[in-house]
Structure 1
Amino acid sequence: MQQIFLVTLPFFALILCGYLATRGRLLPLGAIPGLNAFVLYFALPSMLFQFAANMDVGELFDPHTIFVYMLCALLMVFLTIVTTRRGNTNWNNAAFGALVAAFPNSGFMGMPILVSLVGASGVGPAVVSISIDMIITSSLCIALSRLGQQGDGGAMDAAKKAMKGVLLNPLPWAVVLGAVCSATAFRFYEPVDQVIKMFANSCSPIALFTIGAMLARPPVTAAADSAPAGRFPLGDIHLIVVYKLIVHPLLVLGVGYVYTQMGFDLSPQSLTVLVLVAALPSASSITVLAEKFEADSRRIAQIVLFSTAIAFVTFSTAVKWLI
């Protein structure tokens, strides 16, 4: 176990450094959007492109991996909404609670850690999980968040806006471009390829540092039509943290095991990566998304913060059991 902690500690230490730098005002709050933009539009797409370009296309679009992870994501959304939509939790807050329970930090945090733990062989399932969460899970939860809302176009309009956001997100396009290069054996001119590698190499430390900075950033107060900030019971927040760190990975493990016992060809390596992805803490970007759709972002920020802090132990334990 000590050896596992030695592997995972540097990643969580970088998150802590970003958190302390922001809380201590060494990093201005105004710098956080710039860091986030660098990771989202340059570093992480370069990393995803590089991995996709060097992988077999079949590994990136394995139907068994897609089915198992997507089924578990939908089950997590259903479970969270059914058990939390009560009292102050309207459809808007219930939907974003479900999103934060089902959407792990697989981009900024998962890719760097998984590559370190399992190597390039873990990239395919991780990319599948990122794509499903960005396209399916996010769009579904945003559409659900509009139920009961008046004068905003309803769930269908929200789903269209979510899909527009997906199309403007550079991460899926980086994977697609990498897959095309892999299928056609295309390689960029060497100086261009070197630039991509430099961006990719910068991804891990800056992405993890940015997560910490985003966790330290004060969220916007909830909108008037949402539950007042701070009014959610602490048990509600803790329940969703348990869903994310314990229930989600166990659900993926259980569904994957049953799926393979039924004779379907899901490789043990892919299942291991999917379980580790599910064991990651909640994606920090959901706080920003909750602010945009006027949900209680303080509640989401607390869930992200608690899940990230506790994941140092729970994720390390999952690594010890699975690898």
Structure 2
Amino acid sequence: MTAIADILLPIFALIGAGWGLVRAGVLIPADARPLSAYVMNIALPALLCGAIARRDLADVLHPGYLLVFAAAGLASMALAYAAFRLRGQDRARAATAGMGASCPNSGFVGFPIMLLVFPDHAAMILALNFMVENFLLIPVALMALELSRPQGQRPLWRVVAGLILSVLRRPLVIGLLLGLVLSLLRIDLPAPVLRLLDLAAASAGAVALVVIGVGLAGLRLTGDRAASGAIALGKLVVHPLLAVGLLALLPLLGLPVPQGALAIALVLSTAMPMFSVYPIFVQEYGTAGLASVSVLLGTLASAVTLGVALALLI
């Protein structure tokens, strides 16, 4: 129990600090945007590039991990989408539910927790998660959202092309791909460059957690709480249970799965709350309110569910 508290208390203390700074008038909720931009566009790309470039490519790419993480995410997305449609919800709300139930906050919550649980593997776990999230889960969810528009509004090929370009332009993806290229070509970066990357990367975890608290201070429980609670339940409970089931099932089919610490890291990754920029992704589809309340409920409830997950796994 003490070990779990040692992991979660610093995480949620920093989230609480962000919330408290807003309540004290030191920051305002709008400050979450530039702070988040720093983490997403500078700190995490630097972390990914530096960490991957130092490793052999075989140590970074784990097919079994990628397979289970992707399958669990797609299954959770499909279940949430189907559940909302069966309840009579429109396609935009169903697609919003699917995104929230399948895309974890690997950068802002997952990485700081992994730093405490698996410090030697935290950057690699983040890279694996981001590969699946940025190249598969988020594009599929955005495709479902786009298909909720009236037919003929945008040609499908334009939607796909736009998604591909948006993925490739993200600094996170650029940092990840650059690190993979450097690792593949076995190019050693100069020591000053590595120190620069390490300096930027060192700030990622703490700033990311404060950003969450600042963002939460600006959210209000004004919306369909039942639907938002269902999305949070899907993300915090159904998603990790699907990962556990796949870890047990896929070996019976002769497919690879991660073992040991990587398996634990995978289940923990799926147990993270939904990513904090989730409402921004769905804003143009008219479901930002649903997503915002889901983020608030999911992040608060994760203080309990992550404690349970850690107690069962470590």
Distance in 2 between residues matched to 1:189 and 1:309, nearest whole Å: 42
Distance in 2 between residues matched to 1:38 and 1:88, nearest whole Å: 40
Offset from partner CA, 1:252-272 (integer Å, 9 cap, x none): 011012123444442323221
Using the size of structure 1 for normalisation, the TM-score is 0.89
Single out whichever of 75-84 and 61-70 deviates more from structure 2: 61-70
Matches within 5 A, 1:293-312: 293-312=284-303
What is the aligned-residue RMSD (CA, Å)?
A: 2.1
Deviation at 1:97, TM superposition (A): 1.3
Unaligned 5+ segments in structure 1 are: 220-228
Residue in structure 2 matching 1:281, options 264, 273, 280:
273
Offset from partner CA, 1:116-167 (integer Å, 9 cap, x none): 2012235434322222112211111111112242363055433332222211
Contact kept in structure 2, 1:96 and 1:295, CA below 8 Å: no
Using the size of structure 2 for normalisation, the TM-score is 0.91
Amino acid at match of 2:268: L
Amino acid at match of 1:137: L
Deviation at 1:183, TM superposition (A): 3.2
Give the aligned partner of residue 194 of structure 1: 195
Matches within 5 A, 1:85-164: 85=85, 89-150=89-150, 152-153=153-154, 155-164=156-165
Give the secondary structure class of the aligned counterpart of 1:99.
Answer: helix
Contact kept in structure 2, 1:96 and 1:290, CA below 8 Å: yes
Distance in 1 between residues matched to 2:38 and 2:102, nearest whole Å: 25
Closer/same/farther in 2, CA of residues 170 and 148 from structure 1, 3 Å limit: closer
Give the aligned partner of residue 222 of structure 1: none
Q: What stretches of structure 1 move > 4 A for 4+ residues in a row?
A: none
Contact kept in structure 2, 1:252 and 1:278, CA below 8 Å: yes
Residue in structure 2 matching 1:237, options 225, 228, 235:
228
1:57 and 2:49 correspond: no
Give the aligned partner of residue 313 of structure 1: 304
Contact kept in structure 2, 1:44 and 1:171, CA below 8 Å: yes
Closer/same/farther in 2, CA of residues 82 and 126 from structure 1, 3 Å limit: same
Unaligned 5+ segments in structure 2 are: none
Single out whichever of 148-157 and 267-276 deviates more from structure 2: 148-157
Offset from partner CA, 1:91-128 (integer Å, 9 cap, x none): 11211111011000001221121122012235434322
Closer/same/farther in 2, CA of residues 258 and 37 from structure 1, 3 Å limit: same
1:27 and 2:27 correspond: yes
Contact kept in structure 1, 2:32 and 2:212, CA below 8 Å: no
1:272 and 2:269 correspond: no
Number of residue pairs aligned between Structure 1 and Structure 2: 311
Give the aligned partner of residue 212 of structure 2: 211
Give the secondary structure class of the aligned counterpart of 1:119.
Answer: coil
Distance in 2 between residues matched to 1:182 and 1:83, nearest whole Å: 43
Distance in 2 between residues matched to 1:316 and 1:13, nearest whole Å: 14
Single out whichever of 6-15 and 79-88 deviates more from structure 2: 79-88
Single out whichever of 9-18 and 24-33 deviates more from structure 2: 24-33
Single out whichever of 173-182 and 9-18 deviates more from structure 2: 173-182
Distance in 2 between residues matched to 1:20 and 1:157, nearest whole Å: 44
Amino acid at match of 1:271: A
Give the aligned partner of residue 226 of structure 1: none
Give the secondary structure class of the aligned counterpart of 2:286.
Answer: coil
Give the secondary structure class of the aligned counterpart of 1:102.
Answer: coil
Contact kept in structure 1, 2:70 and 2:132, CA below 8 Å: yes
Amino acid at match of 1:182: S
1:250 and 2:251 correspond: no
Between the aligned residues of both structures, percent identity stands at: 26
Closer/same/farther in 2, CA of residues 25 and 160 from structure 1, 3 Å limit: farther
Amino acid at match of 1:8: L
Single out whichever of 273-282 and 155-164 deviates more from structure 2: 155-164
Single out whichever of 269-278 and 145-154 deviates more from structure 2: 145-154
Closer/same/farther in 2, CA of residues 186 and 97 from structure 1, 3 Å limit: same
Contact kept in structure 2, 1:138 and 1:162, CA below 8 Å: no
Distance in 1 between residues matched to 2:24 and 2:279, nearest whole Å: 21
Contact kept in structure 1, 2:110 and 2:269, CA below 8 Å: yes
